[in-house]
């Protein structure tokens, strides 16, 4: 049995679904993987100790040796805030082009989702009524103010 298969069985037993951290994830619960510089392997255990004490954050060993998996609600945490906190404490994140692109994409999507959650839902049926009322009261070429009895039929 390889380590990946063992992790999969462990997560199924615990009831944790472990989708790929970069796959699209509907809803507000997110699973992400924080990856650290491969040259400083000692920092993974130290970062794990820092993250495990945070409230409303589930932490587990990552899919790779230099990573940590985290589960959180985006209303409580964000990937950007977690990584910034770790960087401020002196941890070195993986800095490859691939990780930078993925990081930027995750930051953007979480920020957009949070911003959209703060907006009221738009009622599509009601918006049509609003535009209809405005059209009725707005002067335009299709409206004739002449009373019907004074109009000449030709």
Residue 138 belongs to a domain: no
Residue 145 belongs to a domain: no
Residue 76 belongs to a domain: yes
As for how many domains the chain has, the answer is 1
pLDDT at 121: 65
Range among 83-87, 118-122, 125-129, 134-138 rated most confident: 83-87
List b or e across 48-59, with b for residues whose CB sees 16 or more CB atoms inside 10 angstroms. Answer: eebbeeeeeeeb
Residue 132 belongs to a domain: no
pLDDT at 52: 93
Residue 125 belongs to a domain: no
CB–CB of 47/82 below 8 Å?
Answer: no
From CA 7, how far away is CA 11, in angstroms rounded?
Answer: 6
Q: Is 10 helix (H, G, I), strand (E, B) or coil?
A: helix
Residue 136 belongs to a domain: no
Domain limits for position 15: 3-117
Residue 98 belongs to a domain: yes
What pLDDT, in 10s, does the model give residues 6-56? Answer: 766 776 776 665 566 666 677 788 889 999 998 877 889 999 999 999 999
From CA 105, how far away is CA 98, in angstroms rounded?
Answer: 11
Which is more confident, 12 or 124?
12
- Stretch among 19-28, 37-46, 58-67, 99-108 having the lowest mean pLDDT: 19-28
Residue 144 belongs to a domain: no
């Amino acid at each position: 049995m390889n380590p990946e298969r063992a992790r999969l069985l462990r997560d199924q037993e615990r009831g944790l679904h472990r989708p790929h951290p970069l796959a699209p994830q509907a809803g507000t619960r997110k699973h992400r993987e924080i990856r650290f510089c491969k040259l400083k392997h000692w920092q993974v255990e130290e970062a794990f100790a820092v993250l495990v004490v945070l409230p409303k954050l589930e932490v587990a060993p990552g899919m790779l040796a230099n990573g940590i998996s985290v589960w959180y609600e985006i209303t409580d945490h964000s990937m950007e805030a977690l990584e910034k906190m770790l960087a401020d404490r002196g941890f070195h994140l993986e800095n490859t082009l691939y990780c930078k692109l993925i990081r930027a994409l995750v930051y953007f999507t979480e920020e957009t989702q949070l911003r959209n959650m703060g907006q009221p839902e738009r009622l599509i049926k009601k918006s049509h009524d609003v535009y209809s009322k405005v059209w009725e009261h707005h002067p335009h070429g299709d409206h004739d103010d002449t009373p019907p009895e004074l109009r000449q039929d030709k």
